[in-house]
Amino acid sequence: MRAVRRNNATGSFSWIGSDGWSARNLVSDGNEPEVEGTLSVQPQANPVRGFEEYFLNLTVESNRRNPWFVEFWEGHFHCRYPNSSLTPYNKDYKKECDITERLHRDNTAFEGQLQFVSDAVMAFAHAFRDMHHELCKGRAGLCDAMKPIKGTELLKYLRKVTFKGLSGDNFRFDPNGDGPARYNIIHFKQTSPGKFQWIKVGEYMEGELRLNMSEIQFKLGHPQPPESVCSLPCDVGQAKKFVEGESCCWHCFNCTQYQIQHPVDETQCLTCREGTVPDASRVTCREIPEVFLRPESGPAIGAMSLSSTGILITLFVCGVFVRHNDTPVVRASGRELSYVLLTGILLCYCVTFALVLRPTDVVCGIQRFGAGFCFTVVYAALLTKTNRIARIFNAGKRTAKRPSFISPRSQLFICSGLVGVQVLINGVWILVSPPRAVHHYPTREDNHLVCSSHIDASYMIAFGYPILLIIVCTIYAVLTRKIPEAFNESKHIGFTMYTTCVIWLAFVPLYFGTGNHVPLRITSMSVTISLSASVTLACLFSPKLYIILVHPERNVRQSMMPVRYNATKSPAVTGTTQTGSMMAAVICNQQKQPFHSTGPQQSGSSQGLDSGLQSDDGPFHGLFGLQNFAAP
């Protein structure tokens, strides 16, 4: 303590004292400021009954059996006892002891741990007694079994002793051979300015610690204990790395961006699973909010607005066609396939609303089936139309025989077969890979709720077959581009297919380029579907609506006849295969005029066209488009 004072370190240390120097004046006297705040343990001991009275009545004359008692007496009274031996302790005493010195409470202090000496003596006494009783069977004195006494044998009896000591406390050894653990927790504090004393602030007994924290004061007026650590606690988001060989010293290291402090092991960091990130406290992982194309978002509203407009226009077209169902324009356009085509266009617009819904397994199934199915209905109808035109005019060039499978029922059957292929593809796909709503993590901080098919290129399974129909339909549109103008619906189909190809050529790279942004991918798909439907609706039905609504006077049978050719002005057709001769053959047949031909090939051609064009719902069903449709 003097060293602390010499180095001006008073108050820099908090002392924990053992029972060897706790409550001893030689420690605290003169060093009170340095010792202040000390906590120490002191074995709990009660006074040994009768010992104090016995000891205070001892004198040198009455205690001759103790050879050290004279030395104690000289040191206690600072005198030299007559005829005592000279020792290093009494050589400086000048005063001679006399019979007037007596021990009493005012000049004699007793050690507080006398109970332990008493208990130790009593433990051996009980062990000897128990050993003698068992080995000697009650005979007085030492029997042969105790000659000599073996220490290991005595230890067995010593461990088993139990008795009530002279202090009144029960005594026994625990399984480790230790006596009862009873300690007082004492504290050296400044009770008032300049006044220090040891006080009891707690106790430890039978494995239980009881501490009165309100009595502990490390400095006068400062009850809070001082900090004394080897390492400070780690900050938020840090873990400990203990110094080798030290259990109380560590270094702190930072957890990574997506790690938290381990809830059990403070030396490790725990990585958050995908879809979660550390919270602000860095002790738990919080869920990342789900991201999906919400109906209230801007892209979804735009896509639904486009689809809603398309649905209204499609329903309007359907209403016009139903109202004018038996007029020449509607009949000439092929009513059955036109209604199939309008149904497919309507489905294309409706698919958008399924695409913007919150993904679930059911919604994903509807999206997967509907996206390809609606396209297939549209392009299956268009392919059936273009195929019919091509077969009729090709047959008219070669033979007078009526082409097969050109009746409305046959056309619907062919269209249904083409659509059935898509239904089969979708059914197998759904069975092999059921639709699922899953969480997609394009980056560590994104949590997209999407249909599993949107993550990779598997949606091309749904679009593969419609794309094939588009390609074949485009080829037919190219092959039939030079037919007579009176049948110019093939030109509208061709323009439809060219525009559709451009839209899809733009969609495919956009689809594959937005793999990490699924909402954008879904929006682009929705807009592509709606644009394709709009192109088909505008190119194929606007000319017909123009005739029906703007020029109803042209929607009569006579106006279906091209003015360029007149049967009464047409002489015999020469032996050529030009489209003009085929057109003349058709017109003459429509007007029920005799047809003249100078060559067998022309006659057969006209008869084939005649039979082919009249096979559908009267003489006008074969006219897929009329020159008059585009007239102002």
Q: Is residue 17 part of a domain?
A: yes
Q: Is residue 185 part of a domain?
A: yes
Residue 628 has pLDDT above 60, yes or no: no
Burial 579-610 (b: 16+ CB within 10 A, else e): bebbbbbbbbbbeeeebebeeebbbbbbbbbb
Nearest to 513 by CA among 528, 529, 524: 524
Q: Is residue 68 part of a domain?
A: no
280 and 203 part of one domain: no
555 and 577 part of one domain: no
Residue 498 has pLDDT above 60, yes or no: yes
Describe the crossing of helices 579-590 and 600-613 by its angle, rounded to 10 degrees. Answer: 50
Q: Which pLDDT score, from 0 to 100, does residue 623 have?
A: 39
Q: Is residue 621 part of a domain?
A: yes
- Of residues 146 and 630, the one with the higher pLDDT is 146
505 and 574 part of one domain: no
Torsions phi, psi for 185 (to 5 deg): -100, 115
The most confident of 198-202, 216-220, 384-388, 510-514, by mean pLDDT = 198-202
The Cα 18–Cα 42 span in angstroms is 7
498 and 610 part of one domain: no
- Overall average pLDDT of the 409-413 stretch: 86
Residue 558 pLDDT level (bands cut at 50, 70, 90):
low
The Cα 628–Cα 632 span in angstroms is 8
Q: Which pLDDT score, from 0 to 100, does residue 315 have?
A: 95
Largest Cα–Cα distance of the chain, in whole Å?
178
208: helix, strand or coil = strand
Residue 350 pLDDT level (bands cut at 50, 70, 90):
very high
Q: Which pLDDT score, from 0 to 100, does residue 395 have?
A: 66
Contact yes or no for 599/465 (Cβ under 8 A): no
- Overall average pLDDT of the 479-487 stretch: 63
262 and 362 part of one domain: no
Mean pLDDT, rounded, of the chain? 79
| Residue 18: CA count within 13 A, CB half-sphere | 1
391 and 515 part of one domain: yes
Contact yes or no for 532/344 (Cβ under 8 A): no
Q: What does each C-alpha distance from 474 to 251, 386, 494, 506, 545 come to in angstroms?
A: 72, 9, 6, 17, 24
The residue range of the domain holding 586 is 563-630
375 and 461 part of one domain: yes
397 and 485 part of one domain: yes
Q: Is residue 60 part of a domain?
A: no
Describe the crossing of helices 460-479 and 408-432 by its angle, rounded to 10 degrees. Answer: 150
Residue 107 has pLDDT above 80, yes or no: yes
Torsions phi, psi for 552 (to 5 deg): -65, -20
Burial 59-80 (b: 16+ CB within 10 A, else e): ebeebeeeeebbbebbeebebb
Report, in this order, helix, strand and coil percent for the chain, each rounded to 5: 50, 10, 40
474 and 581 part of one domain: no
Residue 64 has pLDDT above 70, yes or no: yes
The predicted-structure confidence for 222-244, as pLDDT tens digits, reads as follows 777 777 678 888 888 888 888 88
Residue 487 has pLDDT above 60, yes or no: no
Q: Which helix (H) or strand (E) holds 352?
A: helix 335-355
Q: Is residue 503 part of a domain?
A: yes
- Overall average pLDDT of the 575-591 stretch: 35
Residues in contact with 420: Cβ distance below 8 Å, sequence separation at least 6, in sequence order: none
Q: Is residue 377 part of a domain?
A: yes
402 and 372 part of one domain: yes
Residue 400 pLDDT level (bands cut at 50, 70, 90):
low
Task: Pick the last residue of a domain from 512, 540, 559.
Answer: 559
Residues in contact with 117: Cβ distance below 8 Å, sequence separation at least 6, in sequence order: none
Q: Which helix (H) or strand (E) holds 2?
A: helix 2-6
- Count of CB atoms within 10 A of residue 477's CB? 24
Q: Which helix (H) or strand (E) holds 43?
A: strand 39-43
521 and 436 part of one domain: yes
Q: Which helix (H) or strand (E) holds 253?
A: strand 250-254
Q: Which pLDDT score, from 0 to 100, does residue 401 have?
A: 64
Residues in contact with 16: Cβ distance below 8 Å, sequence separation at least 6, in sequence order: 38, 39, 40
Nearest to 185 by CA among 293, 397, 42, 31: 42
Residue 632 has pLDDT above 50, yes or no: no
Q: Give yes or no for a cis peptide into 88 (omega within 30° of 0).
A: no
| SS3 of 403-426 | CCCCCHHHHHHHHHHHHHHHHHHH
50-54 CB contacts, 8 Å cutoff, 24+ apart: 50/166, 51/110, 51/114, 51/118, 51/166, 52/105, 52/110
Q: Which pLDDT score, from 0 to 100, does residue 531 have?
A: 92
The predicted-structure confidence for 362-394, as pLDDT tens digits, reads as follows 999 998 898 889 989 999 998 888 888 777 777
Residue 630 pLDDT level (bands cut at 50, 70, 90):
very low
Contact yes or no for 237/254 (Cβ under 8 A): yes
User: Minimum mean pLDDT among 12-16, 25-29, 66-70, 523-527: which range?
Assistant: 25-29
Q: Which helix (H) or strand (E) holds 197?
A: strand 195-205
- Of residues 556 and 282, the one with the higher pLDDT is 282
What percent of the chain stands above pLDDT 90? Answer: 19
**Residue reference for tokens 């060989």:** 245
336: helix, strand or coil = helix
Residue 562 pLDDT level (bands cut at 50, 70, 90):
very low
Q: What sign has the CA pseudo-torsion 491, 494, 495, 496?
A: positive
Residue 167 has pLDDT above 90, yes or no: no
Contact yes or no for 161/123 (Cβ under 8 A): yes
Q: Which pLDDT score, from 0 to 100, does residue 99 have?
A: 77
Q: Which pLDDT score, from 0 to 100, does residue 109 have?
A: 83
Q: Is residue 115 part of a domain?
A: no
- Overall average pLDDT of the 68-84 stretch: 88
- Overall average pLDDT of the 276-297 stretch: 88
Contact yes or no for 244/262 (Cβ under 8 A): no
Q: Which pLDDT score, from 0 to 100, does residue 627 have?
A: 32
Task: Pick the last residue of a domain from 249, 264, 287.
Answer: 287
Residue 598 has pLDDT above 60, yes or no: no
Task: Pick the last residue of a domain from 559, 583, 599.
Answer: 559
Residue 121 has pLDDT above 90, yes or no: yes
276 and 318 part of one domain: no
Q: Which two tokens stand for residue 518?
A: 């699924």
Contact yes or no for 524/510 (Cβ under 8 A): yes
Residue 488 pLDDT level (bands cut at 50, 70, 90):
low
Residue 348 pLDDT level (bands cut at 50, 70, 90):
very high
Residue 86 pLDDT level (bands cut at 50, 70, 90):
confident
- Overall average pLDDT of the 76-95 stretch: 85
Torsions phi, psi for 253 (to 5 deg): -130, 150
Residue 614 has pLDDT above 60, yes or no: no
Q: Which two tokens stand for residue 178?
A: 């230790």
Q: Which pLDDT score, from 0 to 100, does residue 595 have?
A: 35
Q: What is the CATH number of the domain that holds 203?
A: 3.40.50.2300
Q: Ramachandran region of residue 382, left (φ > 0), alpha (ψ -120 to 50) or beta?
A: alpha
Q: Which pLDDT score, from 0 to 100, does residue 123 have?
A: 94
The most confident of 46-60, 482-496, 549-563, by mean pLDDT = 46-60
Q: What is the CATH number of the domain that holds 357?
A: 1.20.1070.10
> What is the DSSP secondary structure assignment for residue 42, as one 8-state letter?
E
User: Minimum mean pLDDT among 17-21, 389-393, 471-475, 590-594: which range?
Assistant: 590-594
The Cα 499–Cα 68 span in angstroms is 124
**DSSP sequence for 411-480:** HHHHHHHHHHHHHHHHHHHHHHS---EEEE-SSTT--EEEEGGGTSSTTHHHHHHHHHHHHHHHHHHHHT
The Cα 607–Cα 401 span in angstroms is 7
Q: Which pLDDT score, from 0 to 100, does residue 582 have?
A: 36
> What is the DSSP secondary structure assignment for residue 209, as one 8-state letter?
E
The predicted-structure confidence for 293-336, as pLDDT tens digits, reads as follows 888 888 889 999 999 999 999 999 999 999 998 888 888 777 88
Q: How many domains does the chain have?
A: 4
> What is the DSSP secondary structure assignment for residue 547, as one 8-state letter?
I
Q: Which pLDDT score, from 0 to 100, does residue 130 have?
A: 92
What amino acid is encoded at 28 in this protein?
A: S
